[in-house]
Amino acid sequence: MDLEKLIRDRIRDIADYPKPGVVFKDITPLLSDHVAFAGAVDSIVNHYGRGTIDHIVGIEARGFILAAPVAYHFGAGFVPVRKKGKLPSRTYEETYDLEYGTETIEMHVDAFGPGDRVLIVDDVLATGGTARAAADLVRRAGAEVVGLSVLIELSFLHGRDKLGNLDVHSLVTV
Protein backbone atom coordinates (compact mmCIF):
# COMPACT_ATOMS: atom_id res chain seq x y z
CA MET A 1 0.00 0.00 0.00
CA ASP A 2 1.24 3.49 -0.87
CA LEU A 3 0.72 5.32 2.43
CA GLU A 4 1.67 8.72 1.08
CA LYS A 5 -0.94 8.39 -1.69
CA LEU A 6 -3.58 7.25 0.81
CA ILE A 7 -2.87 10.21 3.11
CA ARG A 8 -2.88 12.61 0.14
CA ASP A 9 -6.21 11.17 -1.06
CA ARG A 10 -7.77 11.65 2.38
CA ILE A 11 -6.94 15.37 2.63
CA ARG A 12 -9.74 17.48 1.22
CA ASP A 13 -9.20 20.95 -0.24
CA ILE A 14 -11.86 23.48 0.74
CA ALA A 15 -11.58 26.60 -1.41
CA ASP A 16 -12.08 30.04 0.14
CA TYR A 17 -12.28 28.77 3.73
CA PRO A 18 -12.13 30.36 6.26
CA LYS A 19 -11.77 33.39 3.99
CA PRO A 20 -11.50 34.14 0.26
CA GLY A 21 -8.21 33.08 -1.34
CA VAL A 22 -7.33 30.42 1.27
CA VAL A 23 -7.39 26.73 0.35
CA PHE A 24 -8.11 24.98 3.64
CA LYS A 25 -6.61 21.50 4.08
CA ASP A 26 -9.40 19.52 5.72
CA ILE A 27 -8.01 16.44 7.49
CA THR A 28 -11.35 15.08 8.75
CA PRO A 29 -11.54 12.44 5.93
CA LEU A 30 -8.08 11.22 6.98
CA LEU A 31 -9.02 11.09 10.67
CA SER A 32 -12.15 9.05 9.92
CA ASP A 33 -10.18 6.44 7.89
CA HIS A 34 -8.53 4.18 10.47
CA VAL A 35 -5.86 2.94 8.03
CA ALA A 36 -4.84 6.46 6.99
CA PHE A 37 -4.96 7.79 10.57
CA ALA A 38 -2.95 4.91 12.04
CA GLY A 39 -0.54 5.03 9.08
CA ALA A 40 0.11 8.73 9.62
CA VAL A 41 0.72 8.24 13.36
CA ASP A 42 2.99 5.21 12.75
CA SER A 43 5.07 6.98 10.14
CA ILE A 44 5.79 9.87 12.50
CA VAL A 45 6.87 7.44 15.22
CA ASN A 46 8.96 5.37 12.77
CA HIS A 47 10.71 8.48 11.42
CA TYR A 48 12.19 9.33 14.83
CA GLY A 49 12.09 5.95 16.56
CA ARG A 50 10.49 4.87 19.82
CA GLY A 51 12.47 5.84 22.90
CA THR A 52 14.14 8.89 21.32
CA ILE A 53 11.59 11.50 22.46
CA ASP A 54 10.51 12.51 25.97
CA HIS A 55 7.54 14.75 25.13
CA ILE A 56 5.28 15.43 22.17
CA VAL A 57 4.01 19.00 21.90
CA GLY A 58 0.63 19.32 20.16
CA ILE A 59 -0.57 22.66 18.82
CA GLU A 60 -4.21 23.62 19.41
CA ALA A 61 -6.50 22.39 18.05
CA ARG A 62 -6.01 19.88 15.22
CA GLY A 63 -2.45 19.23 16.35
CA PHE A 64 -3.87 17.73 19.57
CA ILE A 65 -5.71 15.01 17.63
CA LEU A 66 -2.48 13.80 16.03
CA ALA A 67 -0.09 14.48 18.88
CA ALA A 68 -1.91 12.42 21.52
CA PRO A 69 -1.72 9.04 19.69
CA VAL A 70 1.82 9.87 18.54
CA ALA A 71 2.80 10.44 22.20
CA TYR A 72 1.18 7.15 23.23
CA HIS A 73 3.06 5.22 20.54
CA PHE A 74 6.37 6.89 21.35
CA GLY A 75 5.98 6.13 25.02
CA ALA A 76 6.30 9.91 25.47
CA GLY A 77 4.32 12.50 27.44
CA PHE A 78 1.95 14.99 25.80
CA VAL A 79 2.22 18.77 26.27
CA PRO A 80 -0.37 21.21 24.87
CA VAL A 81 0.43 24.55 23.26
CA ARG A 82 -2.75 26.61 23.42
CA LYS A 83 -4.13 29.95 22.34
CA LYS A 84 -3.67 32.68 24.97
CA GLY A 85 -5.88 32.44 28.04
CA LYS A 86 -6.72 28.72 27.90
CA LEU A 87 -4.04 27.17 30.11
CA PRO A 88 -4.73 27.29 33.87
CA SER A 89 -1.23 27.53 35.40
CA ARG A 90 1.77 29.82 34.85
CA THR A 91 2.78 30.09 31.17
CA TYR A 92 5.36 31.35 28.72
CA GLU A 93 3.82 33.13 25.76
CA GLU A 94 4.95 33.98 22.24
CA THR A 95 3.26 36.39 19.84
CA TYR A 96 3.75 36.15 16.08
CA ASP A 97 2.40 37.79 12.94
CA LEU A 98 -0.48 36.43 10.91
CA GLU A 99 -1.45 37.73 7.47
CA TYR A 100 -3.77 40.16 9.27
CA GLY A 101 -2.97 40.87 12.92
CA THR A 102 -1.16 38.69 15.44
CA GLU A 103 -1.64 35.46 17.40
CA THR A 104 -0.41 34.57 20.88
CA ILE A 105 0.20 30.99 22.04
CA GLU A 106 1.15 29.70 25.47
CA MET A 107 2.71 26.69 27.20
CA HIS A 108 3.05 25.85 30.89
CA VAL A 109 6.43 26.92 32.29
CA ASP A 110 6.90 23.59 34.08
CA ALA A 111 5.99 21.37 31.12
CA PHE A 112 9.46 19.79 30.80
CA GLY A 113 12.51 18.74 32.73
CA PRO A 114 15.88 20.24 31.74
CA GLY A 115 17.25 18.72 28.51
CA ASP A 116 14.05 16.88 27.63
CA ARG A 117 13.86 15.92 23.96
CA VAL A 118 10.70 17.27 22.34
CA LEU A 119 8.92 16.69 19.02
CA ILE A 120 6.31 19.26 17.91
CA VAL A 121 3.30 17.89 15.99
CA ASP A 122 0.72 19.82 13.95
CA ASP A 123 -1.54 19.21 10.96
CA VAL A 124 -0.28 21.90 8.54
CA LEU A 125 2.97 23.85 8.14
CA ALA A 126 2.01 27.02 6.27
CA THR A 127 4.04 30.24 6.83
CA GLY A 128 5.85 28.65 9.78
CA GLY A 129 4.93 31.32 12.32
CA THR A 130 3.05 28.93 14.60
CA ALA A 131 5.75 26.27 14.54
CA ARG A 132 8.47 28.84 15.12
CA ALA A 133 6.63 30.27 18.14
CA ALA A 134 6.01 26.76 19.53
CA ALA A 135 9.70 25.87 19.15
CA ASP A 136 10.66 29.10 20.94
CA LEU A 137 8.30 28.22 23.82
CA VAL A 138 9.86 24.76 24.19
CA ARG A 139 13.38 26.21 24.24
CA ARG A 140 12.42 28.87 26.80
CA ALA A 141 11.21 26.04 29.03
CA GLY A 142 14.69 24.48 28.87
CA ALA A 143 14.00 21.56 26.54
CA GLU A 144 15.52 20.56 23.20
CA VAL A 145 13.39 20.63 20.04
CA VAL A 146 14.27 17.50 18.08
CA GLY A 147 11.93 18.18 15.18
CA LEU A 148 8.57 19.20 13.77
CA SER A 149 6.21 16.62 12.25
CA VAL A 150 3.28 17.75 10.10
CA LEU A 151 0.83 15.92 7.88
CA ILE A 152 0.97 18.61 5.19
CA GLU A 153 3.65 21.12 4.28
CA LEU A 154 2.56 24.00 2.03
CA SER A 155 6.00 24.39 0.46
CA PHE A 156 5.04 27.46 -1.59
CA LEU A 157 4.78 29.42 1.70
CA HIS A 158 8.39 28.51 2.66
CA GLY A 159 7.54 27.87 6.30
CA ARG A 160 10.66 25.80 6.89
CA ASP A 161 12.82 28.85 6.16
CA LYS A 162 11.58 30.30 9.48
CA LEU A 163 12.70 27.22 11.40
CA GLY A 164 16.50 27.39 11.05
CA ASN A 165 18.09 23.95 11.03
CA LEU A 166 15.16 22.24 12.78
CA ASP A 167 14.35 18.81 11.32
CA VAL A 168 11.02 19.23 9.47
CA HIS A 169 9.27 15.95 8.72
CA SER A 170 6.19 16.27 6.49
CA LEU A 171 4.13 13.30 5.33
CA VAL A 172 2.75 15.14 2.30
CA THR A 173 4.22 18.20 0.55
CA VAL A 174 2.18 20.38 -1.77
50 or 139, CB closer to ligand AMP?
Answer: 139
With residues binned 3-state (H G I as helix, E B as strand, rest as coil), the percentages for the chain, rounded to 5, are 35, 35, 30
Q: Is residue 58 close enough to count as binding ligand AMP by CB under 6 A?
A: no
Smallest distance, Å, CB 169 to ligand AMP?
Answer: 15
Task: Assess 40 for contact with ligand AMP (CB under 6 A).
Answer: no
Nearest residue to 122 via CA among 130, 113, 110, 114: 130
Q: Considering 99, 139, 140, 144, which one is annotated as catalytic?
A: 99
CB 66 within 8 A of CB 151: yes
**Residue 106 is a catalytic residue:** no
Q: How many Å from the N-terminal Cα to the C-terminal Cα in the chain?
A: 21
Work out whether 106 is an interface residue with ligand AMP (CB under 6 A): no
Question: Which of the residues are catalytic?
Answer: 62, 99
Instruction: Return residues touching ligand AMP (CB under 6 A).
Output: 22-25, 59, 62, 122-131, 159
